[in-house]
Amino acid sequence: MGHEELFAQLKQAIIDQDEDAVLSSVNTALDAGVEPKTIIDQGLLPGLNVIGEQFECEDIFLPELMQAALAFQAAMSVLEPKIKESGNEGPKKGKIVLGTVKGDLHSIGKNILKLLYETSGFDVWDLGIDVDLFKFIDKAKEVDADVIAISALLTTTLVGQRDVIEALKDQGTRDRYKIIIGGGATTQVWADTIGADGWAGTAYEAVNLTTKLVS
């Protein structure tokens, strides 16, 4: 089977919310020598985008959305250790406190970002999802972080990113950290509006940007 066909199969398995099919397609692709990161980018994420569109058009509903997310996460449990194996053993680049804002339960993009940060030589403190703004601030202070990276997927939770920046300003510690924001609902314009130090549309761009910001 050619790679294009494998990607189509991976994408379709996510669209079908079929965990077994996702896992067997992932294994087929790995056996065919496809890189784990390529499996994610060319197969699984395009499938998740279709799921998002179908949800928006009300072709599918929350249970299907959740099922697709679970199938995606099952694939990540196979791919993540393989990506880590190929990780960076060189000198550490910096300390990052990462999380998804208060009220927001989306973790997939944040987890991909965490994985890429770790394999690119950063130390990451992942606070998880639904993170209170003071948790970001307290953890950053505790570990003497270089960067606070904040994810948001919903237009209703975006303000959580601004709230972290405003609270840091109130405490007089805004300039101690680089603040980088991202996640489906965010834009460069939003990052500029709230005074973040950077925005990236993909986890790969985020790692490059963060590397520049801390060097």
Burial level of 61, CB count in 10 A (0-12/13-18/19+)? exposed
Of 15, 71, 112, 115, the one binding ligand B12 by CB under 6 A = 112
Minimum distance from CB of 5 to ligand B12 (Å)?
A: 23
Of 202, 211, 213, 214, the one binding ligand B12 by CB under 6 A = 202
Residue with Cβ nearer ligand B12 (1 or 105): 105
Retrieve residue 63's tokens: 């249970």
Query: Among 62-70, 79-87, 138-146, 168-176, which window interacts with ligand B12 (CB under 6 A)?
Result: 62-70
Half-sphere exposure of 185 (CA within 13 A, CB side): 16
Does residue 178 sit in helix, strand or coil?
A: strand
Residues numbered 30-49 forming contacts with ligand B12, rule: CB under 6 A: 45, 48-49
Bridge partners of residue 100, in order along the sequence: 151
149 binds ligand B12 (CB under 6 A): yes
Residue with Cβ nearer ligand B12 (32 or 212): 212
Retrieve residue 109's tokens: 């993009």
Backbone angles phi, psi at 147, to 5 degrees: -135, 140
